[in-house]
Amino acid sequence: MNKTIILNSRPVGKPQLSDFKFVEEEMPALKEGEILLKTKFVSVDPYLRGRMSDAKSYVPPFELQKAMSSGVVAEVLESQNEKFKKGDFVSGMLNWKEFQTSIGENLLKIDDKIAPLSNYLGVLGMTGLTAYFGLTEIGKPQKGETLVVSGAAGAVGSIVGQIGKILGCRVIGIAGTDEKVEMLKSKFGFDEAINYKTTENMTKAIAEVCPDGVDVYFDNVGGTISDSVHANINRLGRIIVCGAISAYNDTSVPQGPRVEHFLIRKSALMQGFIVGNYADKFPEGMKHLSQWLSEGKLIYSETIVEGFENIPQAFIDLFEGKNKGKMIVKI
Amino acid sequence: MNKTIILNSRPVGKPQLSDFKFVEEEMPALKEGEILLKTKFVSVDPYLRGRMSDAKSYVPPFELQKAMSSGVVAEVLESQNEKFKKGDFVSGMLNWKEFQTSIGENLLKIDDKIAPLSNYLGVLGMTGLTAYFGLTEIGKPQKGETLVVSGAAGAVGSIVGQIGKILGCRVIGIAGTDEKVEMLKSKFGFDEAINYKTTENMTKAIAEVCPDGVDVYFDNVGGTISDSVHANINRLGRIIVCGAISAYNDTSVPQGPRVEHFLIRKSALMQGFIVGNYADKFPEGMKHLSQWLSEGKLIYSETIVEGFENIPQAFIDLFEGKNKGKMIVKI
């Protein structure tokens, strides 16, 4: 029998284990043109929370009682598709199933000799590309500028900070434990890092570590942390709105200070994006990321949880900040 | 004796007549290299409210017990500066004085044969340039797109809407009286206009007149009006944050729904600006504006109040929406 994880109920507030359900089903039968895939690694990401709701968004919501899906690395067990052969590894958006068939559309063949397979769900996948394109296309950081990253110890944040350093910026990270703060500085080369949970006045703390103000803010969290960065933004500053994990579980639109006033006063920009906007430039991004990775300029952190049955808990743990870097489940 | 208007106290909330004081002083004596100017027209603008506070901003605050200043058109009465001669008209940032001397720096010679003198404080001055550069440089409207303008019957808003029509957009205006709404449609050629004061559900009202959503939003007001436009913004929408008159008199930062979520969901952009950012392109803007004006494609509305003694009241009336188009005081 094959195992699958379906969306059992739409979460209200924080997702619960009961929002998911494990279902057994027949092993899929292979048809002409298809490949049979065995799941090796599953990516769990904060954005999935949005798809579990039925609010209008940039991607359609998950359907109730249907399989969940996310970024997956899988091995080709059998192939009736000439583009793939047995033993190939692929990555793409696939279901949370131990085994599944696919016509191979939108699947990328990946090479475990260039980088570990799990990397293709992170630094060489959507995570790395999100960091790269958000920072370079919207943030346009210049050498000598100050870059602040929130959610800096997260999958995207840690890559953003390192790219910032590669591009010659002074880089400040914001994270939620002393251990993460230490790691940002010692492992990822951030110039400074701040633990927002133990800092009383974040606005003042940011001002202190950013004596020349903040030119670029890569925002993964939103909320009051962002308010304190906004208060330090420079004239012609750029705010890359990548995520708002602080609000993903809110049941109503969170309230906060209106931004219009400081945007005018500072001629500043705030821009949201999804990585898909830059799909035509993915090869360029992959090229830079894999080069920096091979040169050792880019260090990549993963939290790997083992076991198909632990996918829902790994997802829930994201909202507790239990991951360091990209959260991946190994099957 | 010469008359001048000084800043007597920094307003708390809405400006009061008592925040200003009329002072008599000696007539200025002309020195080598200077010109003697007689004030003809004075521009009063919402942004001056910001300079009356001592909060950090893009321009330094007005000093207490010193003359107020703004955009002024003046006549040269005497000249000891070879660049100007008696009878010339000039525009520039000058003091609220009946007579004053200047070394002529940053003053622009203007021609009352091309357009009425007051136009140089509006459609052919900062007002028109603000509309032109905000819309074209940040909004980048494409033919067939939908443009919404708040504060649409104001000086900047009425020009923005007309440029939108010239560039081939569907244009919707938001204003605060039925008379203004009617004027936007009949006089300025807006496709639709909404009176926000008599409309119960603005989000729904905007959705109804924007069946294809909102691609570009030129925001002069901020606040709840903007919330209802944000709710209708399209994917890759652009929000030009030009003004937030709804909050200029607030004594604390106004609160509202956080914008990060919809910015991400729609890959939308919000950008603040001041017209000075585009100073190197002013000649290009003036060229387009004066051409459209001479072709009759651009109609320009002014509210002209008479009398030097009425400058403070004209400024205060801006916050009551008593002006239609640019508010100017004729001396």
Name residue A214's amino acid.
Answer: V
One domain, residues A142 and A256: yes
Do A272 and B255 count as a contact with CB atoms less than 8 A apart? no
Do B272 and A257 count as a contact with CB atoms less than 8 A apart? no
One domain, residues A30 and A135: no
Which of A219, A228, A258, A270 has the highest number of chain B CBs within 10 A, making it the mutation to test binding with B? A258
One domain, residues A60 and A30: yes
* Cα(A127)–Cα(A292) distance, integer angstroms: 15
* Cα(B43)–Cα(B291) distance, integer angstroms: 23
Which of B253, B261, B275 has the highest number of chain A CBs within 10 A, making it the mutation to test binding with A? B261
SS (H, E, C) chain B: CEEEEEECCCCCCCCCHHHEEEEEECCCCCCCCCEEEEEEEEECCCCHHHHHCCCCCCCCCCCCCCECEEEEEEEEEEECCCCCCCCCEEEEEEECECEEEECCCCCEEECCCCCCHHHHHCCCCHHHHHHHHHHHHHHCCCCCCEEEEECCCEHHHHHHHHHHHHCCCEEEEEECCHHHHHHHHHCCCCCEEEECCCCCCHHHHHHHHCCCCEEEEEECCCHHHHHHHHCCEEEEEEEEECCCHHHCCCCCCCEEECCHHHHHHCCCEEEECCHHHHHHHHHHHHHHHHHHHHCCCCCCCEEEEECHHHHHHHHHHHCCCCCCEEEEEEC
Write the residue in A57, A259, A269 that is nearest to B259 by C-beta. Answer: A259
One domain, residues B271 and B149: yes
pLDDT averaged over every residue in chain B: 93
Which of B250, B258, B275 has the highest number of chain A CBs within 10 A, making it the mutation to test binding with A? B258
Question: What does the pLDDT read at residue B75?
Answer: 98
- Tokens found for residue B61: 């605050």
Q: Does A287 fall in a domain?
A: no
One domain, residues A152 and A272: yes
Q: Does A92 fall in a domain?
A: yes
- Give the DSSP H or E segment for A297: none
Q: Are A100 and A92 in contact (CB under 8 A)?
A: no
Total CB pairs under 8 A between chain A and B:
122
Q: Are A214 and A205 in contact (CB under 8 A)?
A: no
Do A269 and B271 count as a contact with CB atoms less than 8 A apart? yes
Q: Does B290 fall in a domain?
A: no
* Cα(B229)–Cα(B213) distance, integer angstroms: 9
Do A247 and B253 count as a contact with CB atoms less than 8 A apart? no
One domain, residues A55 and A115: yes
One domain, residues B142 and B211: yes
Question: What does the pLDDT read at residue A143?
Answer: 98
Report pLDDT digits (tens) over B200-220: 999 999 999 999 999 999 999
Question: Domain count of chain B?
Answer: 2
B243 pLDDT band (50/70/90 cuts)? Answer: confident
The CATH number of whichever domain residue A137 belongs to comes to 3.40.50.720
Residues of A with CB under 8 A from a CB of B: 50, 56-58, 219, 222-223, 226, 235-236, 241-244, 247, 253-274, 277
Under DSSP, is residue A81 helix (H, G, I), strand (E, B) or coil?
Answer: coil
Q: For residue A233, how many C-alpha atoms fall within 13 Å in the half-sphere facing its CB? A: 31
- Tokens found for residue A66: 């249907």
Question: What does the pLDDT read at residue B273?
Answer: 96
Write the residue in B57, B219, B258 that is nearest to A254 by C-beta. Answer: B258
Q: Are B276 and A275 in contact (CB under 8 A)?
A: no
One domain, residues A82 and A131: no
pLDDT at B229 over 90: yes
| ipTM of the prediction | 0.82
Q: Does B180 fall in a domain?
A: yes
Q: Does B289 fall in a domain?
A: no
Question: C-alpha angle with apex B30: B29 to B36, nearest 5 degrees?
Answer: 105
One domain, residues B86 and B131: no
One domain, residues B40 and B181: no
pLDDT at A250 over 80: no
Write the residue in A219, A244, A260 that is nearest to B222 by C-beta. Answer: A260
* Cα(B103)–Cα(A213) distance, integer angstroms: 36
Q: Does A294 fall in a domain?
A: no
Q: For A69-88, what is the mean pLDDT?
A: 96
Q: Does B102 fall in a domain?
A: yes
The CATH number of whichever domain residue B97 belongs to comes to 3.90.180.10
Q: Does B212 fall in a domain?
A: yes
One domain, residues B148 and B170: yes
One domain, residues B10 and B57: yes
Question: What does the pLDDT read at residue A57?
Answer: 62
Full residue range of the structural domain in which residue B90 is found: 2-121+301-330
- What residues in B contact A231, CB-CB < 8 Å? none
